[in-house]
């Protein structure tokens, strides 16, 4: 065990800073609040980099930096943090998005204190979920991550924000209700009763969960997490929620929170109920296929930039779910990499849409046009993010999508091969809607005379975009190291599923 | 420095130039073009050295590092490598790409000198050159796909280079999407091939093919896979029905049309088919005759596009349809097999020079007269002698007149078609030769001869633009001789397709294994284990029927090319006839082309409107795709979301109804409690014995 509890430090840095700001910093000191927020998220980012350097890549499958002590021994409630390759990658994603999200909110004027406090609490909670291996703490922090959304959208949002916030929160809480049931079932199904993810996995491997039990509870857990991962038809909170949310919240929400859902599907549902996963995988694959194709075709009919991105998220998250449903290492590697790639990409998208909206005060494509002439940086970055969206090689989404398609086709099951072939058609549909956005928004003649006076991105605005795009390019050009992390982390899952020998 | 190291460096040079310009160039109009020119110039020098080495030692050399590696139950580790493959085919492509790219860089110094986007233009050119070189040296299909998409991106960026022009925006989007349709097929082909063969390495594909029927399930014939791969070529090399993007791609700056949309990128489809020709050839054993389909698609495109070229008035569009037609020629040659593979690659080689020359010449003209319409030109040879003469050389080359380069490559294609006994396509190819000569000289006479238009003062272009014209003209004159035999060595002795000698016997053995082990079909792991086992159990012992011996037509001999007068003479006469007709109509004005057009009526209108293919696709997009898309969006908003809102409403209503129960009267609560206790007691009585 490490002497320094680095994982606790990572999640507590923003979380405690948030609480301290709430308690001690008056809301008139907005500049101090911003710098404190940036400092806290920056500290997490630095610690994450240190984590990456200290991590033993050869043992990516094992929990490293573990911290463990008991909270309520009689109920098996423990504070158990740790990171395997997958957790580590998700922590990297969250620290990037949180840091860039704070930067993207630099210009916020309305009730800044509450906003940054909620943002930090949310970000801290997400770190905690990705590194918790006891379901009690996992679930508690999961809720911490979900609940601030309501206020963040309801207060700082745009458009029908109250409706969107309410819908999003209710749907996600509905999912959580399922989760709570599922977690209780796992607790009572295991002997001795435990809430530890690895203990539960051992219980599953030892056959303590009967096939009937698994078939019953797998969909409960998977759907519970699936709501957050925008599994069709439970995705409808996402277009409204993303569209109404302020920039940083959209970034965190699409960039990280949706991954929380997919992470839960993998870490809890699939890892703990392997027989259930095998039973329900074809259905999930079909729903994921609907996500992929329906989302990508539906995106072409949208006129609001945020709605386009939201539907593209539905489509891209479908790829994550399809990869998971293959229950094969290739596909699951693709799924986890896609979680990362999609997080970085949508983060970039929403940051850029925020900048565009901040200048033009509209997100409707029919009113936009020719913006590349006045804001070349934003346009160029949007082109790059768009290219990542349509799976262009050299950017991080390509290896992810490639692995999902390979994984789906390389299963021995003809059904999955057919799904893979149909899912592949989305690469054409995706190209259509992505290029349509670029054409209507950035190219062509300038549509409104006053757009000519608009300026390009400022330095503070450029930093987050440059960071995200750099990561996008690095991972896309050479995905080998990242895949080592994921692959190592997935070995235990694959062994549970029987797709790799133990 | 070894071969392999040097092959890595060639693509990295333009990449380095691009990165330098991107990070430090700061959009400088002086620095950026120079760095780009230096980078591609060094790549050209290195490519020439490599090509010379390959002439001495043509054995393929492969190198690579893992790019992606994942533990997998079937493959142990599933790994995709990136690296290099140096063999005569890639060496030839390296030289063509770096040479044309270098000349286009030089030309653009003059052509783009006034353009405010000069630095951006040179950065895109560098990125394109890197991507194209990466494609050319790919040792496996995955890497080829990666760079295939990247050249597509560069093409997109350069077609849409004039971002404020709506036509350019429409054209670049169209190019990307249409190519994506082809790429979808290609990706599927790669997926199938790499799964059932267990490899996508070009060096290993041929050896694994014999076992396809064992590994590939019965519903997936090898020919279908070959055709899926071919889809990629149909998109990239703009074959019918995915040809529609290339004429529109002329919205890009003219040097780009020369480099990307004439000489190099559009030839990538031909290159790819030549690379994996073993797959097409092996399909002759199955139920789908892929080479025949390839030949027919190519032949059809070449005729189809040639007819359109005869009717257009935009100088670049005429050249674009000519490119379609010539690419069709190459594809048709590939379909013939045997000598055809050499001929297709050889025509790619010669065409790169004369078509780049034609486009650069057209650019020189456009630069001078500021118009694309040939009706606004005329008599330019006297004002622009170098442009005029080099354009004439290129026109003679594409028309296949001895001793220009096109004569040799066209002749080789015709010979290959004759070898393959494809009589119909042979006649078609001859007809296209006639049409080609006609529309090219129609263009030449309209542009460079005859009366000058009154207004404007055209002048010869600066040396940066004319020097590339001259170099390409020399190559258009001399490159054809590479096809001839020099002491047993010729183009065809290096670049050729030879079928694996064990193909048929492997196929037979695999059929036997598949019969004996039906479960192995489509199961890569089991199939590999069986394949690796030393021998089959004797048929008698297993009681299974003996497999039928594989039948495959004997491979077309990839023979050395010699001039066959029975082919060359008629073809040349047809070319001369085309030139003569163009001379009569457009120089001597024997016939008024307008009257001919009117006499042909709807036939002419149809051809002039490109057979309405674009309109058909436009209609499909507007009336099918966007309708479906709108329907899905509506369904999502109203039905799926409606159910969610309905659930929420139901909760609200139910909540409102239940709220009434809380009346606040103690008697009612006591009554309810009593009722509850009674029900519980009753339940206990019933369920608990």
Highest mean pLDDT among A74-78, A213-217, B558-562: A213-217
pLDDT at site B460: 81
- Give the pLDDT band of residue B308 (cuts 50, 70, 90): very high
Q: Could you tell me which residues come within 8 angstroms of residue B422 by beta carbon, excluding any fewer than 6 positions away?
A: B295, B335, B336
Give the mean model confidence (pLDDT) for residues A348-352: 92
pLDDT at A380 over 70: yes
Mutate: best of B15, B19, B68, B70, partner A, most A CBs <10 A: B70
pLDDT at B547: 62
Determine which of A341, A371, A432, A470 to mutate to test the interface with B (most B C-beta atoms within 10 Å): A432
Cα distances (Å, whole numbers) of residue A107 to A25, A103, A112, A460, A461: 19, 9, 10, 9, 9
Question: Among A501, A491, A489, A502, which residue's Cα sits nearest to residue A56?
Answer: A489
- From chain A, pick out residues whose CB is under 8 angstroms from the CB of B641: 236
pLDDT at B482 over 80: yes
* pLDDT at B198 (0 to 100): 82
Q: What is the pLDDT of residues A143-152, one digit of tens each?
A: 888 888 888 8
Q: Which of A297, A398, A500 sits opposite B632 (nearest CB)?
A: A297
| Residue A392 to residue B173, Cβ atoms within 8 A | no
Q: Residue B542 above 60 pLDDT?
A: no
Q: How much is the mean pLDDT over chain A?
A: 88
**What integer pLDDT is reported at residue A284 of this predicted model?**
93
Q: Sort out which chain B residues have CB atoms less than 8 A from A170's CB and list them.
A: 648
pLDDT band at B456 (very low <50, low <70, confident <90, very high): low
Residue B303's pLDDT is 94
B195 → closest Cβ in A170, A409, A435: A409
The reply to whether residue A301 touches residue B643, judged by beta carbons under 8 angstroms, is no
Q: What is the rounded CA–CA span in Å between residue A343 and residue A126?
A: 13
The confidence band for B555, taking pLDDT boundaries of 50, 70 and 90, is: low
B144-179 pLDDT per residue, tens: 999 999 999 999 999 999 988 889 999 999 999 999
Instruction: Tell if the CB–CB gap between A480 and B164 is shorter than 8 Å.
Output: no
Q: Which residues in chain A have Cβ-Cβ distances shorter than 8 Å to B176?
A: 431, 435
Reported residue count of chain B is 689
- Give the C-alpha distances (Å, rounded to integers) separating A175 from A73, A143, A295, B79, B472: 28, 11, 21, 38, 68
- Residue pair A266/A335 in contact (Cβ under 8 Å)? The answer is yes
Residue A330 and residue B145: Cβ atoms within 8 Å?
no
Phi, psi for residue A183 in degrees, rounded to 5: -65, -40
The CA–CA distances, whole Å, from A112 to A100, A115, A119, A243, A255 equal 17, 5, 10, 20, 22
How far, in Å, CA of B358 to CA of B321, rounded? 13
To the nearest whole Å, the CA of B231 is away from the closest chain A CA by 14
Q: At A29, is the secondary structure helix, strand, or coil? A: coil
Q: Which of B160, B177, B643 sits opposite A432 (nearest CB)?
A: B177
pLDDT at position B688 is 67
* Predicted local distance difference test score (pLDDT) of residue A105: 86
Q: Most A CBs within 10 Å: which of B73, B124, B131, B192, as the mutation test of the A interface? A: B73
The neighbouring-strand residues paired with A243 are none
- Span of B311-325, B408-422, B512-526 with lowest mean pLDDT: B512-526
Quick check: B77 contacting A, CB < 8 Å?
no
Tell me how far apart the alpha carbons of residues B228 and B235 are, in angstroms, rounded to a whole number: 11
Q: Do A98 and A125 form a contact (C-beta atoms < 8 A)?
A: no
**Minimal Cα–Cα distance from B367 to chain A, Å?**
23
Segment among B44-58, B174-188, B217-231, B443-457 with least mean pLDDT = B443-457
Q: Both tokens of residue A222?
A: 């998977």
| CB proximity under 8 Å: B 517-576 to A | 522-523
Q: Which residues contact A490 (CB under 8 A, 6 or more apart)?
A: A61, A85, A86, A329, A332, A333, A336, B71
Q: Is B632 on the interface with A (CB under 8 A)?
A: yes
Of chain B, the percentage scoring pLDDT greater than 90 comes to 44
| C-alpha distance from A318 to closest chain B C-alpha (Å) | 16
Please name the residue of chain A whose CA is at the shortest distance from the CA of residue B147: A393
Highest mean pLDDT among A5-14, A115-124, B92-101, B651-660: B92-101
Task: Give residue-wise pLDDT tens across range B312-360.
Answer: 999 999 999 999 999 999 999 999 888 889 999 999 999 999 999 999 9
Enumerate residues 190 to 209 of chain B having a beta carbon within 8 A of any beta carbon in chain A: 191-192, 195
The model scores a pTM over 0.90: yes
For chain B, what is the radius of gyration of the CA atoms? Answer: 31
Rounded to whole angstroms, the Cα distance separating B195 from A407 reads 10
Contacts of A399 in chain B (CB under 8 A): 68
Residue A384 has pLDDT above 80, yes or no: yes
> For residue B549, what pLDDT is reported?
67
Q: Model confidence at B560, in pLDDT bands (50, 70, 90)?
A: low
Query: Which chain A residue lies closest to B189 (C-alpha atoms)?
Result: A421
> Mean pLDDT throughout A99-118?
85
Asked if B183 reaches chain A (Cβ–Cβ under 8 Å), the answer is yes
- Render pLDDT for A423-467 as a digit per residue (tens, 0 to 9): 999 999 999 999 999 988 888 888 888 888 888 888 888 999 999
Distance from the Cα of B169 to chain A's closest Cα (Å) equals: 6
Work out the percent of chain A whose per-residue pLDDT is above 70. 99
Residues of A in contact with B146 (CB under 8 A): 393-394, 398
- pLDDT reported for residue B497: 87
CB pair distance less than 8 Å for A428 and B177 = yes
* Chain segment B573-630, per-residue pLDDT in tens: 999 999 999 888 888 888 888 888 888 888 888 888 888 888 888 888 888 888 888 8
Which of B146, B191, B645 is closest, CB to CB, to A409? B191
Q: Which of residues 99-158 of B touch A (CB under 8 A)?
A: 142, 145-147, 149-150, 153, 156
- How many of the other CB atoms lie within 10 Å of CB of A413? 15
Q: B397: pLDDT confidence band, cut at 50, 70 and 90?
A: very high
Q: Could A480 and B630 be called an inter-chain contact, meaning their C-beta atoms sit closer than 8 Å? A: no
CA quadruple B386, B391, B394, B399: dihedral sign: negative
Confidence of residue A112 (pLDDT cuts 50, 70, 90): confident
From chain B, pick out residues whose CB is under 8 angstroms from the CB of A500: 71, 73
Which chain A residues touch B522 with a CB distance below 8 Å? 412, 414
A412 vs B423, residue with greater confidence: B423
Contact residues on chain B for A302, CB-CB shorter than 8 A: 633
Residue linked to tokens 């009113």: A367
Query: Best interface-test mutation with A: which of B15, B64, B72 has the largest number of A CBs within 10 A?
Result: B72
pLDDT digits (tens, 9 = 90+) for A71-104: 888 888 888 888 888 999 999 999 999 999 899 8
HSE-up of A90 (CA within 13 Å, CB side)?
Answer: 33
Beta carbons of B632 and A298 less than 8 Å apart: yes
Quote the percentage of chain B above a pLDDT of 70. Answer: 95
* Res A494 pLDDT > 90: no
pLDDT of residue A6: 87
B162 touches chain A (CB under 8 A): no
In this complex, do B166 and A329 lie within 8 Å of one another by their Cβ atoms? Answer: no
> B78 and A387: CB-CB below 8 Å?
no
pLDDT-derived band at B540, boundaries 50, 70, 90: very low
Confidence of residue B229 (pLDDT cuts 50, 70, 90): very high
**pLDDT at residue A1, as a whole number:** 46
Those residues with Cβ within 8 angstroms of residue A160's Cβ, 6 or more apart along the chain or in another chain: A240, A244
Average pLDDT over residues B370-378: 84
Residue A313 pLDDT level (bands cut at 50, 70, 90): very high
Q: Which of A410, A438, A487 sits opposite B74 (nearest CB)?
A: A410
Instruction: At A477, list the tokens.
Output: 């050009």
CA distances, B327 to each of A437, B210, B254, B662 (Å): 32, 30, 19, 82
Look at B68 and A398 and tell me if their CB atoms are within 8 Å.
no
Contact B276, B229 (CB under 8 A): yes
Annotate B10-55 with DSSP letters as a single string: HHHHHHHHHHHHHHH-TT-TTHHHHHHHHHHHHHHHHHHHHHHHHH
For chain A, the domains span 6-492
d(CA B412, CA B568): 9
Q: Which of A427, A428, A491 sits opposite B71 (nearest CB)?
A: A491
d(CA A226, nearest CA chain B) in Å = 15
Within 8 A of B219 by CB-CB distance, chain A residues are none
For residues B117-138, give the mean pLDDT.
93
Work out the minimum CA distance from B597 to partner chain A, whole angstroms: 36
CA-to-CA distance for B244 and B518, rounded, in angstroms? 45
Contact B187 A424 (CB under 8 A): yes
Place of tokens 């020919």: B223
Residue of B nearest to A170 (CA): B648
Per-residue DSSP letter, B496: -
Residues from chain B that touch A301, judged by Cβ atoms under 8 A, are 626, 629-630, 632-633
**How much of chain A exceeds pLDDT 90, in percent?**
40
Contact state of B73 with A420 under an 8 Å Cβ cutoff:
no
Inter-chain Cβ pairs, chain A and chain B, closer than 8 A: 143
- DSSP E strands, B331-466: none
| Range among A191-195, B42-46, B452-456 rated most confident | B42-46
CA atoms in the 13 A half-sphere facing the CB of B484: 11
A294 to B69: CB separation less than 8 angstroms, yes or no: no
Q: What is the mean pLDDT of residues A110-124?
A: 86
Chain B positions touching A432 (Cβ under 8 A) are 177, 625
Size of chain A in residues: 502
């Amino acid at each position: 065990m490490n002497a320094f509890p680095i994982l606790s430090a990572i999640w507590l840095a923003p979380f405690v800073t948030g609480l301290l700001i709430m308690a001690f910093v008056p809301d008139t000191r907005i500049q101090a609040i911003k710098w404190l927020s940036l400092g806290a998220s920056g500290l997490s980012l630095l610690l994450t980099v240190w984590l990456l350097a200290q991590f033993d890549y050869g043992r990516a499958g094992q929990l490293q930096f573990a911290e463990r002590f008991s909270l309520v021994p009689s109920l098996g409630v423990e504070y158990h943090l740790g990171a395997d390759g997958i957790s580590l990658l998700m922590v990297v994603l969250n620290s990037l998005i949180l840091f860039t999200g704070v930067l993207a909110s630099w210009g916020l004027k309305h009730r800044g204190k509450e906003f940054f406090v909620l943002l930090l609490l949310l970000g801290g909670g997400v770190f905690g979920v990705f590194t918790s291996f006891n379901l009690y703490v996992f679930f508690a922090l999961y809720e911490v991550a979900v609940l601030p959304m309501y206020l963040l959208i309801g207060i700082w949002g745009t458009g029908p924000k109250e409706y969107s916030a309410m819908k999003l929160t209710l749907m996600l809480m509905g999912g959580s209700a399922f989760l709570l049931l599922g977690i209780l079932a796992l607790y009572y199904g295991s002997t001795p009763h435990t809430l530890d993810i690895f203990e539960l996995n051992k219980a599953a491997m030892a056959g303590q969960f009967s096939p009937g039990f698994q078939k019953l509870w797998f969909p409960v857990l998977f759907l519970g997490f699936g709501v957050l991962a925008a599994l069709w038809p439970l995705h409808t909170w996402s277009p409204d929620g993303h569209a109404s949310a302020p920039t940083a919240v959209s970034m965190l929400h699409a960039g990280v929170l949706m991954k929380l859902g997919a992470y839960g599907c993998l870490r809890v549902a699939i890892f703990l109920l392997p027989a259930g996963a095998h039973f329900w995988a074809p259905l999930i694959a079909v729903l994921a296929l609907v996500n992929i194709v329906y989302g990508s075709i539906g995106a072409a009919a949208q006129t609001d930039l945020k709605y386009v991105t939201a539907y593209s998220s539905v489509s891209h998250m479908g790829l994550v779910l399809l990869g998971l449903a293959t229950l094969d290492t290739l596909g699951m590697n693709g799924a986890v990499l896609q979680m990362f790639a999609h997080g970085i990409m949508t983060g970039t998208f929403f940051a850029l849409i925020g900048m565009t909206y901040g200048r033009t005060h509209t997100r409707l494509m029919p009113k936009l046009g020719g913006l590349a002439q006045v804001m070349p940086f934003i346009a160029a970055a949007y082109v790059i993010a768009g290219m990542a969206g349509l799976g262009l090689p050299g950017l991080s989404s390509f290896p992810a999508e490639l692995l999902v398609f390979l994984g789906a086709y390389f299963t021995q099951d003809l059904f999955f091969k057919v799904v893979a072939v149909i899912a592949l058609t989305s690469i054409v549909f995706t190209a259509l809607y992505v290029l349509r956005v670029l054409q209507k928004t950035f190219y062509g003649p300038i549509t409104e005379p006053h757009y000519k006076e608009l300026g390009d991105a400022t330095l503070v605005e450029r930093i987050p975009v440059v960071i995200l795009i750099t990561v996008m390019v690095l991972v896309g050009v050479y995905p080998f190291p990242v895949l080592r992390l994921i692959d190592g982390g997935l070995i235990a899952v694959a062994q549970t599923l029987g797709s790799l020998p133990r | 420095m070894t071969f392999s190291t040097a092959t890595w460096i060639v693509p990295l040079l333009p990449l380095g130039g691009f990165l330098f310009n991107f990070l430090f160039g700061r959009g400088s109009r002086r620095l950026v073009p120079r760095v780009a020119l230096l980078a591609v110039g060094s790549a050209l020098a290195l490519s020439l050295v490599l090509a010379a080495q390959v002439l001495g030692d043509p054995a393929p050399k492969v190198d690579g590092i893992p790019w992606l590696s994942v533990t997998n139950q079937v493959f142990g580790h599933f790994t995709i490598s990136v690296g290099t493959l140096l063999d005569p085919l890639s060496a030839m492509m390296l030289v063509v790409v770096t040479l044309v790219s270098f000349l286009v860089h030089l030309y653009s110094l003059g052509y783009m000198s006034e353009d405010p986007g000069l630095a951006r233009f040179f950065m895109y050119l560098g990125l394109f050159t890197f991507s194209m070189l990466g494609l050319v040296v790919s040792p496996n299909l995955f890497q080829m796909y990666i760079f295939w998409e990247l050249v597509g991106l560069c093409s997109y960026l350069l077609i849409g280079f004039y971002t404020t022009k709506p036509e350019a925006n429409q054209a670049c989007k169209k190019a990307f999407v249409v190519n994506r349709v082809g790429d979808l097929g290609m990706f599927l082909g790669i997926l199938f091939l790499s799964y059932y063969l267990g490899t996508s390495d070009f060096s290993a594909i041929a050896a694994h093919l014999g076992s396809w029927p064992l590994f590939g399930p019965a519903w997936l014939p090898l020919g279908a896979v070959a055709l899926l791969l071919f889809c990629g070529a149909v998109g990239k090399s703009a074959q019918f029905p995915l040809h529609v993007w290339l004429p529109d791609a002329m919205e890009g700056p003219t040097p780009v049309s020369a480099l990307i949309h004439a000489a190099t990128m559009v030839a990538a489809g031909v290159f790819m088919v030549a690379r994996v020709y073993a797959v097409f050839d092996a399909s002759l054993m199955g139920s789908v005759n892929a080479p025949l389909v390839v030949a027919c698609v190519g032949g059809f495109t070449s005729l189809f596009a040639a007819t359109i070229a005869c009717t257009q008035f935009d100088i670049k569009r005429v050249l674009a349809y000519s490119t379609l037609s010539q690419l069709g020629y190459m594809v048709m040659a590939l379909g013939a097999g045997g000598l055809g593979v050499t001929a297709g690659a050889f025509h790619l080689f010669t065409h790169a020079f004369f078509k780049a020359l034609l486009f650069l010449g057209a650019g020189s003209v456009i630069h001078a007269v500021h118009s694309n319409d040939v009706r606004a030109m005329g008599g330019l040879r006297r004002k622009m002698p170098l442009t005029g003469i080099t354009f004439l050389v290129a026109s003679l080359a594409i028309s296949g007149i001895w001793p220009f380069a096109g004569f040799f490559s066209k002749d080789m294609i015709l010979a290959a078609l004759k070898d393959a006994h494809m009589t119909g396509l042979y006649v078609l190819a001859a007809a296209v030769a006639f049409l080609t000569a006609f529309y090219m000289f129609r263009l030449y006479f309209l542009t460079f001869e005859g009366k000058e238009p009154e207004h404007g003062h055209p002048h010869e272009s600066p040396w940066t633009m004319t020097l590339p014209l001259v170099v390409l003209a020399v190559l258009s004159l001399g490159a054809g001789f590479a096809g001839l035999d020099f002491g047993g060595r010729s183009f065809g002795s290096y670049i050729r397709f030879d079928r694996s000698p064990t193909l048929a016997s492997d196929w037979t053995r695999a059929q036997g294994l598949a019969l004996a082990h039906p479960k192995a079909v489509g199961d890569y792991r089991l199939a590999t284990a069986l394949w690796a086992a030393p021998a089959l159990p004797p048929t008698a012992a297993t009681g299974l029927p003996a497999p039928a011996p594989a039948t495959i037509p004997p491979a077309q001999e990839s023979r050395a090319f010699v001039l066959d007068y029975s082919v060359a003479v008629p073809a040349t006469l047809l070319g001369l006839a085309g030139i003569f007709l163009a001379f009569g109509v457009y120089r001597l004005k024997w016939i008024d082309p307008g009257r001919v057009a009117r006499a042909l009526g709807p036939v002419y209108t149809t051809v002039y409107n490109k057979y309405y293919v674009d309109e058909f696709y436009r209609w499909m997009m507007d009336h099918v795709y966007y309708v479906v898309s709108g329907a899905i969006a509506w369904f999502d908003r109203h039905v799926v979301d409606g159910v969610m809102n309905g659930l929420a409403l139901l909760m609200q209503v139910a909540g409102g109804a239940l709220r009434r129960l809380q009346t606040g009267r103690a008697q009612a609560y006591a009554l309810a409690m009593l009722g509850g206790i009674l029900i519980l007691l009753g339940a206990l009585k019933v369920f608990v014995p």
